[in-house]
């Protein structure tokens, strides 16, 4: 009998034959999984061993409501239109200690705050692991990355007590194991496995159909993200850069609310208010530009009078004339909570940009958040975010900013283990998780050679390599609240910020970095659209890259209105799901 307030335990129905591997293999880029004769699941990526899971395959019978209560964050279940009173069968891999789901639906219901942990899954005791971590033996901690990742995998279903989970996070922090590449790569892997499942092959087809491929860019998804924690409290550079880059790239911006600053990427995006149209600026002099950008124009009578074309004016006999209506259109922010595995393809069908709000795609993190909040130290999860993009296996290129120089080679190795072929790790010389506008930036560049081997090149760039001047960080560290930063973002996207504004040039540096790593700057011709003079800057700088061409393309994204167009389409499509 279930304890008070808990759902009944699921009833085993039948044993299954060989384990179906559809849900755990991942998608693309050489990810693989196979079961050996001992019932182990061996996970490899590009030939590198990632994780070993002990498991057996069973079928559990639940009511739909029990499945939701017991399986959220584990089996990727969604109630959808299911009748909560009817029984459904769920294929899962289970053992007394290591459960893992194979058959995952394409969507997952976002659990409500306060949901109980899965009642049918017994708690996991990790005291033996903790004892081997602390006190630290003379020859160092005698634990493997597999063991650490296995323990962390149970955080997402609340099977490890908060006390033991906190103890593990603290131990990893003070032994520096949370900054070891294999630990980071394998922990990020189990975090992604616990995430809401995205149909990546189908999504990839939608994205590639957009026809964005150019130069060395294959038209796939790109991301730019930072670890945070650099203490400089700069403007939201990577988020703004991600929107500018969507003028030419398909961008999958994975982000969350602030944890170490006033304004996180999700805070900024949620506060972004598009403008009402400025109908008084539509005139004979601007009309061609208006129609070059859109199929619609509102001709305000006082501007065009006495023209006899279809136009509008303010009310004279009614409360609201056509001009009153247009001028009072209420701006909308995007509804980022409606971007989910179920809607992602529709988003990319409408725009090049998507913001993947972490709580939607990583519902199991709701069990971890209270623990992190109680600890005075940064934990491994501060580092895993950039490695846990829900569309990881569909990412073609990315930029990751780190706030400590020693993390650069660690992230480069972790990405190599995970199978990344095209990436750039950046760290400002002052330990800033962006390309610095104040001086040198350290770069670790992952690239695939002609022999198919991914190698890391290490070099340094400066603003002058991009054709830009330097700016002190206090010029770009407004420390503002989300609404204020959102207004700065709006002004940048709408072209209201001067070309030589320090924040604008800071954004251009980082947008250029994403353009460079994507490969699009390798194109020897250019036809981006209206406003593009086609003059490709072929000059190469550090690392053999076309940094100035990246800036040229970033400036075009703003001046042409192309970035604003993609952002507006993102706002429109996310407001249409309700």
For range 350-361, the mean pLDDT: 93
**195 three-class SS:** coil
Q: Determine contact, residues 20/103, Cβ cutoff 8 Å.
A: yes
Which pLDDT score is estimated for 321?
A: 47
Q: Which of 252, 123, 110 is nearest to 195 (CA)?
A: 110
- Is residue 267 within 8 Å of residue 517, measured between CB atoms? no
Q: What kind and span of H or E run contains 441?
A: strand 441-448
Question: Are 201 and 160 spatial neighbours (Cβ–Cβ below 8 Å)?
Answer: no
pLDDT in tens, 36-77: 444 454 544 444 444 544 443 333 333 333 333 333 333 332
Write phi, then psi, for 221 (nearest 5 degrees). -75, 145
Q: Are 322 and 312 in contact (CB under 8 A)?
A: yes
Greater pLDDT, 80 or 239: 239
Q: Is 431 left (phi over 0), alpha (psi -120 to 50) or beta?
A: left
Domains of the chain: residue spans and CATH: 200-274+333-575 (3.40.1030.10), 279-327 (no CATH)
393 pLDDT exceeds 60? yes
Place of tokens 């755990």: 24
3-state SS of 328-344? Answer: CCCCCCCCHHHCCCCCH
Distance CA 293, CA 274 (A): 16
Please write the tens of the pLDDT for every residue from 197-249. 999 999 999 999 999 999 999 999 999 999 887 677 778 888 899 999 999 99
Token code pair at residue 388: 């846990």
In contact, 377 and 170? CB cutoff 8 Å: yes
pTM listed for this prediction:
0.73
CA atoms within 13 A on the CB side of 210: 29
- Class of residue 6 by CB neighbours under 10 A (exposed 0-12, middle 13-18, buried 19+): middle
pLDDT tens digits for 459-490? 999 999 999 999 999 888 765 677 777 888 88
CA distances for 46 relative to 29, 33, 318, 555, angstroms: 7, 11, 69, 37
The number of beta carbons lying within 10 Å of the beta carbon of residue 422 is 22
Give 107's contacts (C-beta < 8 A, 6+ positions apart).
Answer: 76, 78, 80, 196, 197, 340, 341, 342
| Mean per-residue pLDDT, 295-299 | 64
Closest Cα to residue 568, out of 276, 145, 303?
A: 276
Strand 454-461 and strand 100-101: the pairing is unpaired
Q: In terms of DSSP H, where are the helices of 280-375? A: 287-293, 301-304, 322-327, 344-350, 358-361, 369-374
3-state secondary structure 103-166: CCCCCCCCCCCCCCCCCCCCCCCCHHHHHHHCCCCCCCCCCCHHHHHHHHHCHHHCCCCHHHHH
Is the pLDDT reported for residue 32 higher than 50?
no
CA 251/CA 207 separation, integer angstroms: 10
Cα gap 92→295, rounded to integer Å: 52
d(C-alpha 192, C-alpha 185), whole Å: 11
Q: For residue range 501-527, what is the model confidence (pLDDT) as tens digits?
A: 999 999 999 999 999 999 999 999 999
**C-alpha span between 18 and 36 (Å, rounded):** 10
Tell me the per-residue pLDDT of 410-443, one tens digit each, with 9 for 90 and over.
999 999 999 999 999 999 999 999 999 999 999 9
The H or E element that residue 549 is part of is helix 547-559
> What dihedral angle (degrees, nearest 10) is formed by the CA atoms of 68, 69, 73, 79?
10
């Amino acid at each position: 009998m279930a304890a008070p307030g808990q759902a009944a335990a699921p009833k085993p129905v039948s044993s299954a034959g060989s384990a179906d591997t559809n849900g755990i293999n991942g998608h693309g880029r050489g990810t693989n999984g196979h079961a050996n004769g001992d019932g182990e699941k061996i996970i490899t990526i590009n030939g590198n061993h990632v994780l070993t899971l002990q498991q057996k395959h069973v079928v559990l019978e639940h009511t739909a409501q029990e499945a939701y209560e017991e399986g959220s964050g584990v089996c990727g279940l969604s109630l959808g239109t299911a009748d909560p009173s009817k029984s459904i069968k769920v294929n899962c891999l289970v053992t007394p200690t290591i459960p893992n789901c194979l058959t995952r639906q394409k969507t997952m219901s976002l659990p409500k705050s306060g949901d109980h942990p899965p009642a049918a899954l017994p708690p996991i005791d990790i005291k033996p692991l903790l004892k081997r971590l602390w006190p630290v033996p003379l020859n160092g901690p005698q634990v493997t990355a597999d063991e650490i990742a296995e323990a962390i995998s149970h955080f997402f279903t609340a099977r490890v007590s908060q006390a033991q989970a906190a103890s593990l996070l603290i131990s990893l922090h003070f032994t520096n194991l949370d900054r070891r590449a294999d630990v980071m790569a394998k922990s990020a892997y189990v975090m992604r496995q616990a995430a809401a499942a995205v149909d990546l092959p189908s999504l990839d087809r939608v994205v590639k159909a957009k026809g964005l491929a150019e130069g060395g860019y294959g038209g796939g998804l790109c991301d730019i993200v930072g670890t945070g924690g650099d203490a400089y409290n700069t403007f939201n550079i990577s988020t703004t850069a991600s929107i500018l880059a969507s003028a030419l790239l398909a961008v999958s911006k994975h982000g969350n609310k602030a944890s170490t600053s006033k304004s996180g990427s999700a805070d900024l995006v949620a506060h972004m208010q598009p403008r009402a149209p400025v109908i008084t600026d539509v005139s004979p002099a601007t009309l061609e530009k208006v129609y070059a950008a859109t199929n619609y124009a509102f001709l305000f009578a006082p501007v065009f009078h006495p023209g006899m074309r279809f136009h509008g004016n303010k009310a004279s006999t009614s409360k609201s004339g056509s001009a009153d209506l247009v001028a009072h259109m209420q701006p909308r922010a995007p509804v980022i909570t409606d971007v989910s595995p179920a809607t992602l393809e529709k988003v990319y069908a409408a725009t090049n940009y998507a913001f993947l709000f972490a709580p939607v795609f990583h519902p199991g993190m709701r069990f971890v958040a209270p623990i992190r909040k109680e600890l005075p130290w940064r934990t491994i999860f501060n580092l895993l975010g950039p490695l846990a993009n829900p569309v990881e296996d569909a990412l073609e290129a990315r930029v990751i900013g780190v706030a400590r120089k020693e993390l650069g080679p660690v992230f480069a190795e972790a990405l190599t283990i995970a199978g990344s072929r095209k990436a750039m790790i950046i760290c400002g010389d002052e330990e800033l998780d962006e390309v610095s506008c104040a001086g040198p930036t350290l770069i670790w560049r992952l690239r695939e050679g002609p022999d198919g081997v991914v190698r890391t090149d290490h070099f340094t760039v400066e603003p002058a390599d991009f054709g830009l001047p330097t700016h002190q960080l206090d010029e770009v560290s407004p420390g503002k609240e989300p609404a204020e930063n959102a207004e700065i973002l709006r002004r940048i996207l709408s072209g209201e910020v001067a070309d030589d504004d320090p924040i604008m040039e800071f954004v251009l540096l980082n947008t250029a970095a994403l353009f460079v790593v994507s490969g699009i700057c390798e194109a020897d011709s250019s036809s981006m659209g209206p406003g593009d003079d086609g003059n490709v800057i072929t000059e190469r700088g550090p690392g053999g890259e076309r940094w100035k061409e990246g800036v040229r393309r970033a400036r075009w994204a703003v001046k042409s209105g192309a970035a604003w167009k993609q952002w507006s389409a993102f706002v429109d499509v996310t407001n249409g799901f309700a």
